[in-house]
Structure 1
């Protein structure tokens, strides 16, 4: 993540990166580790001597939150054999290399409806530059992306009969040879 983007997320009251690192990054790192079920570490990416971006590595920290209760309702899991068949089907539909877990995520977001996955994948094929197909598909299913409505073609600019030209006669006119013969 670029440093400028991080600064825009947090009120930029820090003149130097070292202050930002000490007061924001390190404090967040400790609080997340102690109070949540995730933790992170980061790597500073430099251009020359200046830190220009930060790469975050987020990991699970299950030791601190053993007594946490899930806030969502658990959905009934499909039968194992049916689930495996659906995952294979999804991998056949999507023409890119995806893992079983990614296919499972897509299946869960579509509530097991293969037709929705097919429809949203068709939308993805028409979309420009998708870098993360799995994430895009899950978002498309959740937000119900619709394919673009094409405009009806009223008329064509070049919808006319082509003129016929006598190219030898045109060449003589352009070069002025026709006027020479008259004299």
Structure 2
């Protein structure tokens, strides 16, 4: 009986067809399945894959720390519906784990259906996705893990556009859960975005694609997360590169430039060309050369270049410019919003005033209106222009309006309440 050992820094490698199949919903189930995938990759001829329960619970960062909990999880995996993997010419329907064994010695074994193995060990033409188990080990949300897997699949393309319906399918979210997009965004996408950036080797931004006012698709923009990528050991990184892939990288002109001209070690150069775009490497080479000519680089040109590529020194100035532009745009945006707010405030104030004056005057008899007019004339008798306007337009004149407002109970309080309500309805 072979007991599978610690696999934190080993690769999870699976066919894209298997990756896209929604098999498990819980965080522990998904992590456990990834551990089984690793074991199949290492020992494809085994019938049952055995694990130490204690070590397994520790490695998958499970809150459950006892055998009974893992037994329940394993049973739930066995009860999971059969595999349904869509292929170009049909689909595979099969039981994932015919049997699951638990021994008193603290071991758990998964008998794997042989139909699953070709999706793990017979991989070619790049139609597969791989990542270090370490990247998902600390993720707490099952949605974060699944989104991470889906984005790793498209990492080289740098973006992935997925409809909301597809995303819900991949994540196994019931139709009555997070029905409102706002809830789906806050509970699924934003949680995954934060977790993935904090704990994995990639991060993402996203764009909402709308049809009318409704969000229909999400365009995920995928970036290499250098701060966490650095935590992966170079030796393991290079060791797990396919032999042909490593050969291809070493054949690149940019790799030879880094090694031959700038004396960067092959291990570091391999890591650079595999994880950094050629455009970024070249611009930082040019930047480093310019800095060296200007006397801003010490004798360690090689070390400076590696740091420049890692931190993208060449793009620092433009990033500051972008940041300043964003701040300027924000100030302009806020100023325009304030101007619009004031325009609406004036509009709503006039609107309320006209309505209230009209209601007040309609409540008066003709005799009361005449008496009010005479009261106002008496108040403004020293202002000949006001008297003239009042006599000409009566109580509809602007002069009369000022005095009418004084007669309306709690006019200012109710006006302010009206303006506040209308501004809220307008989105302010």
TM-score range for the pair, normalised by the shorter chain length: 0.3 to 0.5
Q: What TM-score do the two structures reach when normalised by structure 2? A: 0.18
Q: What TM-score do the two structures reach when normalised by structure 1? A: 0.40
Computing the radius of gyration over CA atoms, which structure comes out larger, 1 or 2? 2
The structure that is helix-richer by fraction is 2
